[in-house]
Amino acid sequence: MSTTWEQLEGAALSLARSGPIKDRLTDAYRNYLAFVRIEDLPEVLREEFRACRDALTRERPLRGEDAVRATVRKMSGSEADELACSVVRLFAAIVRECAIDAAGEAAMAASGAANGSRNGTALNGSAHDGAALNGLAAGARVKKGVPQVIAI
């Protein structure tokens, strides 16, 4: 079972491969985006993801195809490019959100260490010895929010 972050990463990697953009977009949806649960996304990304999902499933399918194939078949190449960019932006946004969360946890660990931790373990149980946590230094500043990601 993959996390939402991993599903969006897989979709972005699928879009980065060679081949026609419409095929890559279909693959990204069927193998990754279809399994993302909206409630598992950060609140600030839910509407953008919903718009992306709706844009990929808006057409009524013909016999033998699904809504994604029907929608992608009717898209222009530039529409498919724009939608693929939206998926990649969603992945970048969730990475930023995870970094913000990690920075907040690191700041809490540093605060716990300064306020009475023992043996290098903060009060919340996370280790802190000045090392970076998830690629962020313990003193990293937390961003206040994620900018609007997609305008479809």
Cα–Cα distances in angstroms (integers) from residue 90 to residues 29, 70, 138, in the given order:
13, 23, 26
Please count the other Cβ atoms lying within 10 Å of the Cβ belonging to residue 26.
20
pLDDT for 103: 74
Length of the chain measured in residues = 152
pLDDT for 109: 73
- What is the C-alpha end-to-end distance of the chain, expressed in Å? 30
Q: Is residue 140 part of a domain?
A: no
Q: Is residue 130 part of a domain?
A: no
Query: What is the number of domains present in the chain?
Result: 1
pLDDT for 98: 80
pLDDT for 97: 84
Q: Is residue 146 part of a domain?
A: no
Give per-10-residue mean pLDDT for the chain (152 aa): 84 95 95 93 92 94 92 94 94 86 72 56 40 40 46 46
* Structural domain that includes position 86: 4-114
The closest of 109, 96, 105 to 144, measured between CA atoms, is 96
Question: In one letter, which amino acid is 46?
Answer: R
pTM of the model: 0.66
**Distance in angstroms (rounded) separating the CA atoms of residues 136 and 143:** 13
pLDDT for 26: 95
Q: Is residue 25 part of a domain?
A: yes
